[in-house]
Amino acid sequence: MKRNKNIRTYFLVVWMLVLLPSVTFALDAKSILSKTQALYKDAAKIEYSSNYELFSGHMGTDLTKSYTGYYYRSNDLQYQKIGTSEYVYGKDFFLTLEHEEKIIQLYNAQKSTTEQTDVSAFLKLCKSSTAEDKGNHYLVTMTFGSAAQIPVNEIVLQIDKDDYHLIQMDLFYANTSGLSEEGKLAPAEHLRITFSKFSVKPKDHSELLNLSKYIEKKESGLAVQSFYAGYELNDNRLK
């Protein structure tokens, strides 16, 4: 469960930075990122698949973790799958499914991690940014100061030149302060997120956003649907 939470944390940091007001970046990067922001913000529906690869060391090729993912949004309702975990941001609920632990958690509605967030503190942390034309995509590099309050010191984005959707993100994390199992200083990490099958006109998958797909009401109370037989259900909603 912890490893999936780590991936979600990385994803949150990425999205907060991608959706920053574009005034923080140099002219070329500003123009490109503003179009990417508009694409994701204005689309009524979005769908894409993703692949997460975590490497040991900034330039290392030692793959330590790998996950696949899927994302679907219809207006303000969103579904996200990362590895063996699922997250449903419904109209009046938030649901998490941890398949390894066989636990379903039900909460009051929450804002999704991909919504634009007030991260004004980050605006002062971006030391520089560059944009390069790589033929079929733009390469945008953002560098952050050593005093940054975020765990990354560099983010590299590949952005499609036709419609400005994200093709790939590379996050380079500062040296970690934790210790490895061997008692040595844990190395810095590099997370690569690759996106595929991006669409702003996806097929309807509204069933993923309905609570009834996962939980049913019975006279005795809430129960998991038969597909999730054997799962523990925890209702954490505030009454």
Average pLDDT by consecutive 10-residue portion of the chain (239 residues)? 54 55 56 83 93 85 90 94 95 96 96 45 64 92 72 87 92 65 62 94 96 93 95 92
What pLDDT was estimated at residue 115?
Answer: 38
C-alpha 161/C-alpha 37 separation (Å) is 14
What pLDDT was estimated at residue 23?
Answer: 43
CA neighbor of 222 nearest in space, from 231, 80, 206 = 231
Instruction: Say what the pTM is.
Output: 0.80
51 and 68 Cβ atoms separated by less than 8 Å: yes
Classify domain 2-235 at the CATH class level: mainly beta
41 and 11 Cβ atoms separated by less than 8 Å: no
What pLDDT was estimated at residue 117?
Answer: 30
C-alpha 54/C-alpha 66 separation (Å) is 6
78 and 66 Cβ atoms separated by less than 8 Å: no
What pLDDT was estimated at residue 123?
Answer: 42
What pLDDT was estimated at residue 144?
Answer: 80
What pLDDT was estimated at residue 13?
Answer: 59
Sequence-distant (6+) residues with CB within 8 A of 9 are: none
Chain-centre distance for alpha carbon 38: 18
Measured from the Cβ of residue 207, the count of other Cβ atoms closer than 10 Å reads 9
Measured at the alpha carbon of residue 159, what is the angle toward residues 47 and 155, in degrees to the nearest 5? 105
What pLDDT was estimated at residue 43?
Answer: 92
C-alpha 88/C-alpha 76 separation (Å) is 11
Give helix 27-42 / helix 2-18 axis angle, nearest 10°.
Answer: 120
Where do the domains of the chain lie? 2-235
Instruction: Give the 3-state secondary structure of residue 123.
Output: helix
